[in-house]
Amino acid sequence: MNVKNKIILVTGGANGIGKALCERFFAEGAAKIFVADIDLENAEKVAGSVNGKAFRLDVADESNCKSVVSEILNETGRLDFIASNAGIGGAEGSLEVANDVWQKIYEINVLSHLYLARAAFPAMIENGFGAFLITASAAGLLTHPFATPYVVSKHGAVALAESFAIEFAEKGIYVSCLCPQGVKTNLIASAEGEPENFLMAEAIPAEECADAVVKALEKETFLILPHAEVEQYIINKAENRDRWLHSLRKIRKAVLAQRKEFLSKGN
């Protein structure tokens, strides 16, 4: 799929990967880019830079998703491609994380994609063409030794993308799943307690991530991996899951030891 002349909606488009996607799609000649984000002020700035239109969108609100998609369809008559990119980081921990935090992460990182698909797929099927990108994470493929709610939600996002790809291909909808490792965005910059050697060491610019997306879309690849090493990690995990879990236990233990040492020095 080439994004040239396509009508595109990007959620989470005000910052980070979403902003980079909007800018890259504009450079590739998209017909119209709709920038949706709960941060309307920055969404409007991005929309202005790509000759697009901004919406305030809470992706955890299904009625809000429906209204945004409906407004786009009423204005343009079609919606060719949705980059369902909005997401949030997760609280560190597992058992101690409050239910409302688990619920919020799940709603934004999983259900938002379902809400947008429900709103847009009927029109895409009627028009005979559509594309839908879910931004998940390498953590949804590889797990993470600390942020359990985030990991669970991103595994769910990958599974949802796979299910959509199976079900809707015969109806003309191309579904893909973006699984970056570290990307230099506000989400990474604001994360506390992330084990640097696992997530941050290979962080790439958001523009590099957007470049990987455009190249993968042209080939209609399902799994988009901006970090080439993630593919080998997937193989390693599949070959010996016990070994993989052992390696993550070692990472977790090492990071906790580093934190303890850091705190003991009065930092």
pLDDT in the model for residue 267:
58
pLDDT in the model for residue 17:
96
Q: How far is it, in rounded angstroms, from Cα 65 to Cα 171?
A: 22
24 located within any domain: yes
Specify the pTM. Answer: 0.92
Give the pLDDT mean for 35-59.
98
A 10 A CB-CB count for 103 gives 13
Read off the pLDDT of residues 137-162 as tens digits, 9 standing for 90 and up: 999 999 888 999 999 999 999 999 99
- By residue range, what is the domain housing residue 118? 7-229
Residue 30 corresponds to which amino acid? A
Q: How far is it, in rounded angstroms, from Cα 155 to Cα 150?
A: 9
pLDDT in the model for residue 187:
54
Read off the pLDDT of residues 62-106 as tens digits, 9 standing for 90 and up: 999 999 999 999 999 999 999 999 999 978 999 999 999 999 999
The strand ranges marked E within the chain are 7-11, 32-37, 53-56, 81-84, 130-135, 173-178, 183-184, 204-205, 223-224
Of the chain, the percentage scoring pLDDT greater than 70 comes to 93
The yes-or-no verdict on residue 57 having pLDDT over 90 is: yes
Under 8 Å between Cβ of 45 and 89: no
40 located within any domain: yes
267 located within any domain: no
261 located within any domain: no
Under 8 Å between Cβ of 16 and 185: yes
> Band of the pLDDT at 264, cuts 50, 70, 90?
confident
Give the pLDDT mean for 104-109.
98
Number of domains in the chain: 1
152 located within any domain: yes
DSSP designation for 108: I
Q: 37-74 as b/e, with b when 16 or more CB fall inside 10 Å?
A: bbbbebbbebbeebebbbbebbbbbbebbeebbeebbe
Q: In this structure, what CATH number is given to the domain that contains residue 53?
A: 3.40.50.720
Q: Which two tokens stand for residue 252?
A: 């977790």
246 located within any domain: no
Which residue is listed with tokens 């993470």? 144
255 located within any domain: no
Q: What is the mean pLDDT of the chain?
A: 92
Read off the pLDDT of residues 157-208 as tens digits, 9 standing for 90 and up: 999 999 999 999 999 999 999 999 988 866 544 444 343 344 444 789 999 9
241 located within any domain: no
